[in-house]
């Protein structure tokens, strides 16, 4: 059952928050042994929260917009007194002394935090296979990955363990697993959701957002967690606005651009003569669903055209210099002294080396070394400085594109979910999974992935809508049109 229906039942007294919670806990207990979506299930804490919601409703107090809704948290969001591991040995036993702002806002809205979900270590990965505690599996096919790095959160929603979950998105880590698991994932405008209490990976790229079973629930959760936070220096001071109110307003008159560089095999792109500019590797079955999504939007009253943003082809290279460079700086704090894992040694230098060697996994070490190299004397301008210039170019070109269209449409992922272990031996092949999602992180713009049909293998396909800064209301009402069309097509089968 979706979050909106649960809230209605809990508010009306048809069911209690405790009853709702127990149903979800039973499902987790019986099925998560196979999926591995959770690092920690907060059974006792969740029951206390659910009972508090029921007591508040019984006494006539106002019920929050997420009253009684179980919510899963990616395990890089701080929870006071509760382990926050980032799926790393380095933080395996760390208990933060404070809650992340988004956690505080969820609880104030009546949500029940049901557990902490698995992720690629320190959010570095695209398949949730880099976790120190084992991989998460895709609920649609246990031999496939759920995507990453928020794979645990996406799998939890897809499996019905919780109607809502939070993830973090640095290069696509909300949208990519949402697409592979057949759920909705929203990366908000950078600064629209507070990062206070998010364990940092790449601070200029990280953003927290919702993963949900449907667009309405994602919009409701976004309203709850967004808004200015003085504890986050990058938090936007723009006034909060409703995104749920306009979800059914449709797309009449909207201008949608099919992003040529990511849709080279699309029928429309070929007709425009721009297929030669596209990146290779987008599967034909994904492009087929994308073309159908464009047809749906056009039939609903939108104008669909083909748009070129040439710098998109440079996004992957720029990202894998900027993100590791920031990670190299952010992860320097894990030194065996201040907090986290410590491995004793003969002196401080050896202790630092031994602690980091034991605490970090292979992918984290790879990115730290890459980032440190890119920032080192003699290489800064050649690598990191050049990547920053590409980022500026990309922002300029996207801004120009949005002068002609309101939104851009493209795939979320190049393929449907791939098999566990298929890409772990080739980091570059794994990194290519982020090629469609990275641009929105580099620009700071919002984007949403919405399920739209299935591929040739019967697994979910996600299509991505990208928009300019603060365009979440338009993105989500457009996603709602695609969602309704996909549901109608499924019902007709």
List, by residue number, the catalytic residues: 74, 149, 173
Distance CA 13, CA 97 (A): 35
What is the chain's length?
A: 493
Instruction: Return the percent helix, strand and coil in the chain, to nearest 5.
Output: 45, 15, 40
Conformational region of residue 125, where left means phi above 0, alpha means psi within -120 to 50, and beta covers everything else: left
**CB-CB contact of 39 with 133 (8 Å):** yes
Residue 427: closest CA among 127, 163, 147, 95:
127
**DSSP 3-state assignment of 313?**
helix
In the β-sheet with 164-168, what is the strand arrangement from edge to edge? 38-41, 112-117, 70-74, 164-168, 208-212, 184-187, 447-454, 460-466, 407-411, 255-259, 303-307
Distance CA 371, CA 387 (A): 12
ω into residue 149 within 30 of 0, thus cis? Answer: yes
End-to-end CA separation in angstroms for the chain: 22
**CB-CB contact of 480 with 453 (8 Å):** no
């Amino acid at each position: 059952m979706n979050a909106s229906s649960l809230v209605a039942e809990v508010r009306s007294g048809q069911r209690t928050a405790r009853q709702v919670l127990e149903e979800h806990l039973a499902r987790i207990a019986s099925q998560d042994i196979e999926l591995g979506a959770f690092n920690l299930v907060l059974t006792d804490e969740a029951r206390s929260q659910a009972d508090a919601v029921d007591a508040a409703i019984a006494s006539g107090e106002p019920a929050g917009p997420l009253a009684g809704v179980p919510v899963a948290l990616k395990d890089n969001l701080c929870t006071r007194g509760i382990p926050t591991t980032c799926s790393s040995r380095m933080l395996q036993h760390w208990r933060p002394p404070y809650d992340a702002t988004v956690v505080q806002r969820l609880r104030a809205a009546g949500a029940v935090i049901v557990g902490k979900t698995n992720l690629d270590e320190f959010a570095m990965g695209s398949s949730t296979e880099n976790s120190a505690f084992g991989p998460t599996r895709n609920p649609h096919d246990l031999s496939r990955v759920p995507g990453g790095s928020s794979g645990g959160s996406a799998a939890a929603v897809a499996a019905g363990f919780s109607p809502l979950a939070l993830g973090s998105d640095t290069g696509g880590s909300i949208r990519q697993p949402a697409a592979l698991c057949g759920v909705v994932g929203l990366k908000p405008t950078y600064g629209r959701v507070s990062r206070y209490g998010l364990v940092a990976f790449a601070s200029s790229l990280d953003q927290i957002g919702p993963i949900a079973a449907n667009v309405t629930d994602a919009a409701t959760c976004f309203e709850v967690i967004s808004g200015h936070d003085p504890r986050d220096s990058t938090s936007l001071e723009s006034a909060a606005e409703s995104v749920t109110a306009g979800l059914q307003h449709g797309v009449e008159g909207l201008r949608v651009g099919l992003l040529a560089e990511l849709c080279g095999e699309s029928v429309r792109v070929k007709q425009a003569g721009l297929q030669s500019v596209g990146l290779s590797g987008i599967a034909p079955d994904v492009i087929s669903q994308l073309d159908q999504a464009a047809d749906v939007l056009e039939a609903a009253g939108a104008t669909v055209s083909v748009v070129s943003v040439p710098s998109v082809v440079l996004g992957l290279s720029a990202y894998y210099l900027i993100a590791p460079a920031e990670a190299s700086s952010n992860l320097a704090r894990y030194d065996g002294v201040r907090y986290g894992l410590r491995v004793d040694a003969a002196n401080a230098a050896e202790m630092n080396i031994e602690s980091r060697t034991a605490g970090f996994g292979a992918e984290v070490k790879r990115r730290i070394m890459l980032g440190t190299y890119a920032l080192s004397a003699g290489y800064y301008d050649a690598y990191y400085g050049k990547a920053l210039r590409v980022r500026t170019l990309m922002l300029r070109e996207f801004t120009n594109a949005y002068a002609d269209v309101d939104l851009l449409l493209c795939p979320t992922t190049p393929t449907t979910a791939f098999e566990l272990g298929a890409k772990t031996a080739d980091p570059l092949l794994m990194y290519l999974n982020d090629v469609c999602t990275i641009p929105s992180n580099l620009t700071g713009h919002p984007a949403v992935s919405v399920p739209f049909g299935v591929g040739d293998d019967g697994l979910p396909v996600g299509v991505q809508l990208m928009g300019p800064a603060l365009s979440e209301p338009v993105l989500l009402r457009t996603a709602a049109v695609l969602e309704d069309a996909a549901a109608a097509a499924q019902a007709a089968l």
